[in-house]
A and B are shown apart, each in its own frame.
Chain A
Amino acid sequence: MALLNKIPKENSAAEGQKRVKEPLFHIVKRDAPVWYKAWLIRAAAIVLALLLCAVVTVLLARNVNPLDVFKAMISGNFGTVRRIWVMLQSLSILLCVSLALTPAFKMRFWNIGGEGQILIGGLATAACMKLLGAKMPPVLLIFVMLAASIAAGAIWALIPAVFKAQWNTNETLFTLMMNYVAIQIVSYFTMVWEAHKGSANIGIINSKTHYGWLPQIGNEYLLSIIVVLALTVAMYIYLRYSKHGYEISVVGESQNTARYIGINVKKVIIRTMILSGALCGIAGFLLVGSIDHTITPTSSNNRGFTAIMVSWLAKFNPLMMLLTSFLIVFLECGAKEITTKFSLDKSFSDILTGIILFFIIGCEFFINYQIKFRHSQKEVA
């Protein structure tokens, strides 16, 4: 053929090659999928996750029936009336922290210092209960506790915010390290206020007098649930309909646009972080004042980190967070039940939780993209 003469020298090696096969699959971006399709994909992901969980159960715990495991998971959450209340209560605290982090994340300020902000808020509450308990009327005391915990959480968040706004320091590292400072401070005070010498444990504060214990509405669980539900609605309205919420979105999407239309970016960063820290402080207040009546360096129980996932999974929509925080709490309570019921290692339930979360987060990829496989091609003569 004549074409052979036309091939330049440099190319002869390449031209010698045979037809290369089409790649096995390639990834194609999807259109914005209709909502029910997205939910179908999510449902399929959960079914697949449960199937894989069953396989893992059969492989790792030979004498356990996977169906029993799922049953235990459900009964861990809904088995008794008390369990339902406990589940709802821990849901409310997790949701409270998620609400706190959301404005910061929406502003693209990576506040991973929720942990420290909760602890320092809780410590402020504990300090008021311990030191002011007998000195003022109960109603006033509760308001002082609330104010103190809000202020403490806000200050803990304000410090990294000011550094970020003024000198553009890295807020991720800064807020993270503030967690450790808070943990150390709380450890110190558990020594100072220890119940018995050498126990390094505060014990239940004011266990006889109940000074500073938040009032019970109906039962011991309902108060924090109601407070957090109110906060959820308030946060939804704040982010969606207020001028502040609008400014947060603009700063988060593009600081250049914010500058261009004359938003004071520094002010918005500082204001939003004060809000974020204050809400974490409220979570600490509820935790110490209404639920635990004590404080330890692990009181916040990693909620400051778990809440990040809740917030992101819900795409920063406070109403959606009801659902995502339920998912996380459901898995946690269920895992606890599995471990005790089948006397399995805790890491076994961690594996199951991990699998389910992996599928739920991973399915977002398939909502946005689809995979096209190699199609059989007609041969060219």
Chain B
Amino acid sequence: MQAAPAIELKGVTKTFGHVVANKNVNLEVRRGEILAILGENGSGKTTLMNMISGIYFPDEGQIFIDGQEVTIRSPKDAFNCGIGMIHQHFKLVDLFTAAENIILGVNDGKKYNVKEAAVRVQEIADRYGFILDPNKKIYDMSVSEKQTVEIIKVLYRGADILILDEPTAVLTPQETGRLFSVLRNMRDDGKSIIIITHKLHEVLSLSDRVSVLRKGEYIGTVNTAETNENELTEMMVGKKITLNIDRPEPKNMKNRLVINDITSVDAFGHTVLDHVSFIARSGEILGIAGIAGSGQRELLEAIAGLQQLRSGEIVYYDPKIDIAVDAEKASEEELQTLIAEDNLILRDPETRVRADLRGKTKAELERMQAGGAAFVRHPRVNLRDKTPTEIREMGVRLSFVPEDRLGMGLVGNMDIIDNMMLRSYKKGMSVFVDRKNPRNLAEEIISELEVVTPGPTTPVRRLSGGNVQKVLVGREIAANPKVLMAAYPVRGLDINSSYTIYNLLTKQKESGVAVIFVGEDLDVLVELCDRILVINSGRVTGLLDGRSATKEEIGLLMTKTDDRQEGEADGSAE
């Protein structure tokens, strides 16, 4: 006789207005197994889990726990059924310790006793192999430690069906590995685990079975051992697609943006950028890797003129302007500086190909000039402490796709046309805005990037994540940039949209733009980027060649503990 599944859903449906988030979903999780729920963003994974954990109430359908029908009206009901959910965004009190957070709100009729609780927390941690100090305060914890607290919190309350919503989104490869081994221990202990994800390799390495959702509909369940990446992708997307990112060799690279030793401090006095230096070259994609909150946002905002710097400079070499350099009149020192800056360009009107001038002396250059060669340099523009308007007025072609699309890059309540105007509305002397050109641009972007929208006058917030991003990236590329910065441009996008964005970035690179790409998916970073800069707590910890770097290598650099601070401590002791 087979045991009833730990949890079973039959015909569950949930709609929001005309949006069908889940349609007639059937799902079954057994005791002692890990079930992965796979689906693209917007396929209804999170809505489905929110119904199990009592946040939403299904419009239709039944939920069975151990074969018995239950109604889950609130998170409390869910707890009573032994269901615990670990959300993507943690819900912890920063000033409390791990143990205090864990017993917060537990009503077991016993006296409030943190010490006893800490002992039990430690027991749970040891049993499954978590590493956690129950007395550590939350604000001292890393993201992965906070996640551990969340997991133990539901275990402490007796949950034996655990739901994890995209648990690896914020973790490094090493931390992910640790989490997976803990989850396997829990499974072997008889717990049922549901993990929501859209990362295929994680599904394959961790789960026992996979259930796939597509556009709110239940597609099917397969045994992980009997499937592969291609089959799952096909189930998820509904058609066969190839998952290769094209990476042409960079051509004709020039220094475009030189970040020189910049330091920035936030409102609380914490150093968010600590002596960061790097160079972004035209014709290549520079990837920036790091754990969320390591200074990526501040770095891009500093370049875009939105962040005050304490020291350092941001130099832009304006490729639109050539200044002639006379090798005879210039001093040796000046010429050598220009060469060192990669800013002495041999102008050959025929080929426009740059010859390598490294190691050339003044005398050699003079000889070349006598032989008919002409040298030019680009003006050096310091962008430090300039406002976005000033930067634009200086003729610097800088485009920026910020992380916060609807909070910074676009205005959600405005339509696509008005969002196109954000960059261009100031043009001209008229006191009135011109909506004709933005309308044309909006229509162009809608048709070229296949934006799914009822029309250009639809408010952007009504579009899906992928379409919002296409509108934003489309606008930024339409500005004809020389430097294009994109922060997490594919976050929340489905596979097809993601690849559209990667291709757009690659096209920009091929047309000679210096592309800076901040990413979180290391698999993509090593496939897309020509060079990868790793930052860790506001400091550069490595610069790797995108073609040879491995995920593990990047992961280590992302989490490497501070040898420099130790070095400083040593230095002061001497």
Contact = CB atoms under 8 A, between A and B. Distances in A.
Interface size class of A (residues with CB under 8 A): 35 or more
B410 interface: yes
A23 B73 contact: yes
A334 B15 CA distance: 44
A374 to B, nearest CB: 11
For chain B, what secondary structure do more than half of its interface residues adopt (helix, strand, loop), or is it mixed?
A: loop
A28 B20 CA distance: 12
A17 B80 contact: yes
Interface string B427-451: 0001111000000000000000000
B62 A380 contact: yes
B308 to A, nearest CB: 12
Given A8-B160, A253-B413, A14 B80 contact: yes
B432 A241 contact: yes
A152 to B, nearest CB: 26
B73 A257 contact: no
Interface string A13-37: 1110101111100101111100000
B404 interface: yes
A61 B57 CA distance: 46
Interface stretch (B170-178, B418-426, B535-543): B418-426
A19 B71 contact: yes
B71 A29 contact: no
B160 A10 contact: yes
A104 B3 CA distance: 64
Interface stretch (B387-395, B496-504, B554-562, B566-574): B387-395
Contact of B408 (A7, A17, A257): A257
A13 B108 CA distance: 12
A253 B412 contact: yes
Interface in B1-35: 1-4, 6, 15-18, 31
B414 interface: yes
Contacts of B1: 2
A365 to B, nearest CB: 15
B425 A11 contact: no
Contacts of B158: 8, 10-11
A292 B55 CA distance: 58
A259 B409 CA distance: 10
Nearest to B404: A256
Nearest to B426: A243
A380 to B, nearest CB: 6
Contacts of A13: 80
Interface string B151-163: 0000000101000
Contacts of A264: 387, 389
Interface string B521-543: 00000000000000000000000
A127 to B, nearest CB: 33
A31 B31 CA distance: 40
Given A2-B4, A10-B160, A260-B304, A246 B425 contact: yes
Given A2-B1, A250-B422, A259-B388, A14 B411 contact: no
Interface in B69-91: 69-71, 73, 77, 80-82
B12 to A, nearest CB: 13
Interface size class of B (residues with CB under 8 A): 35 or more
A3 interface: yes
Contacts of B113: none
B400 interface: yes
Given A242-B433, A243-B433, A254 B411 contact: yes
A291 B71 CA distance: 65
A1 B66 CA distance: 10
B479 to A, nearest CB: 11
Contacts of B160: 8, 10-11
Contacts of A31: 17-18
Interface in A214-264: 241-246, 249-250, 253-254, 256-257, 259-262, 264
Contacts of B390: 262
A173 to B, nearest CB: 23
Contacts of B16: 28-29
A1 B77 CA distance: 24
A19 B414 CA distance: 47
A375 to B, nearest CB: 9
B65 interface: yes
A150 to B, nearest CB: 19
A257 B411 CA distance: 7
A262 B393 CA distance: 11
B402 interface: yes
A372 interface: yes
B455 interface: no
A259 B407 CA distance: 11
A257 B422 CA distance: 9
Contacts of B407: 254, 256-257
In this complex, which of A249, A261, A264 has the most chain B Cβ atoms within 10 angstroms of its Cβ? A261
A32 B461 CA distance: 13
A6 interface: yes
Given A1-B67, A7-B66, A11-B158, 16 more contacts: A6-B6, A11-B81, A11-B82, A14-B80, A20-B73, A28-B59, A29-B17, A242-B433, A246-B433, A256-B407, A257-B408, A257-B410, A260-B409, A261-B423, A262-B392, A380-B69
30 contacts: A3-B4, A8-B82, A10-B82, A11-B158, A15-B68, A19-B69, A26-B57, A28-B15, A28-B16, A29-B17, A30-B17, A31-B17, A32-B17, A242-B432, A243-B430, A243-B433, A246-B421, A246-B425, A246-B433, A250-B422, A253-B413, A253-B414, A254-B408, A254-B411, A257-B407, A260-B304, A260-B306, A260-B409, A261-B388, A262-B389
Interface of A: 1-3, 5-8, 10-11, 13-15, 17, 19-23, 26, 28-32, 241-246, 249-250, 253-254, 256-257, 259-262, 264, 372, 380
What 6 A-B pairs are tightest by C-beta distance, nearest first? A10-B158, A262-B389, A262-B388, A14-B80, A31-B17, A20-B71
